Amino acid sequence: MRREICALTKIYHFSAAHRLHATRYSDEENRRIFGKCNNPKGHGHDYHIEIKVTGNIDPETGMVINLSELDEMIKDIIEELDHTRLDIEVPHFREFVPSGENIAKYIWMRLQPKMKKGAPLHIKLWETQDNYFEYFEEDNYSANE
Amino acid sequence: MGYKTLLTKRVEFSASHRYWNPKWNEEANKAVFGKCISPYGHGHNYVLEVTVDGTVDPDTGMIINIYDLKPLISEVLKDFDHKFLNEDNPYFKDLIPTTENIARVLWDLIEKKLKETTDCKLYRIRLYETPDLFVDYRRE
């Protein structure tokens, strides 16, 4: 029998404000690089996070992952991000610019170690309806596509 | 390196289901499946995406005519649409109708029909249980 590849994707939501500003650049440079996103008081988005888990279908449960377990694993990550000003209130983003790329990576870094049997994660972060960012381990991409 | 053309058809169907593993007692079932063990089932508006892989016919410009693909899928979905999957559908007598297992069964049924009547290959099944929850299934 051929190999079966099954992935479950659950979409979670949070809303947050951020300002894109890199401390190593001057204010003028920051305005040039980040444009409107450098506004000192910040601006916000309704983020949608697609969490895709690839794995075997457990014969006892019929599931790749139990959704209540996934909800539980991501709960504190969402709580940390939801309704905050990311670059001020979330410690990680005081150090790293809260760009879509960095937020997607941060969610992957927090969630991947919690996955049973190392089931690979593919994170897709929608910042607006027209922008999304993905983060995943490249070796697992074929299994994840 | 090659090029690939894929075609996806979306179809909706509505069905009810119940999660229950007969090997376990009620307590164990509740711990794993929660509200989904409710005895008479509960329902969803499923959205099925069938993605087909094949050669583009130079005369029609198509991998497969959607006029042929749509009735093929509808035929398969007769056992699913407006059914209680656990009892009305022959494939879930001994298989829990999770989104994963429904996707797997649909893969088998649609692949078989595609093979019988076309030169196309099934590439992927995506099944949405809700707009925020879906499963991708394929075999290679």
The DSSP call for residue B13 is E
DSSP 3-state of A7 = strand
Distance CA B119, CA B18 (A): 36
Q: Are strands A43-55 and A4-18 parallel, antiparallel or unpaired?
A: antiparallel
> How far lies A20's CA from each of A44, A48, B98, B107, in Å?
11, 19, 42, 45
**In chain B, positions 91-110, which contact chain A (CB-CB < 8 Å)?**
95-101, 103-104
User: Residue A115 pLDDT > 90, yes or no?
Assistant: yes
User: Residue B65 pLDDT > 60, yes or no?
Assistant: yes
Catalytic positions of A, please? 37, 83, 127
User: Residue B59 pLDDT > 90, yes or no?
Assistant: yes
Digit-coded pLDDT (tens) for A27-79: 999 999 999 999 999 999 999 999 999 999 999 999 999 999 999 999 999 99
| A90: number of Cβ within 10 Å | 19
Count of positions (residues) in chain A: 145
Q: Please indicate, yes or no, whether the overall pTM of this predicted structure exceeds 0.80.
A: yes
Distance CA B62, CA B126 (A): 21
Mean pLDDT, chain A, whole residue set: 94
Give the closest of A7, A11, A62 to B136, CB-based.
Answer: A7
Digit-coded pLDDT (tens) for B11-56: 999 999 999 999 999 999 999 999 999 999 999 999 999 999 999 9
Q: What is the pLDDT of residue A141?
A: 53
Is there a contact between B11 and B77 (Cβ–Cβ < 8 Å)? yes
Give the closest of A2, A60, A63 to B100, CB-based.
Answer: A63
Please name the residue ranges forming H helices in chain B. 26-33, 66-77, 85-88, 99-117
- When pLDDT is cut at 50, 70 and 90, the band that residue B3 belongs to is confident
Report the candidate in B82, B83, B137, B88 with the shortest Cα–Cα distance to residue B110. Answer: B137
Regarding an ipTM greater than 0.95, the answer is: no
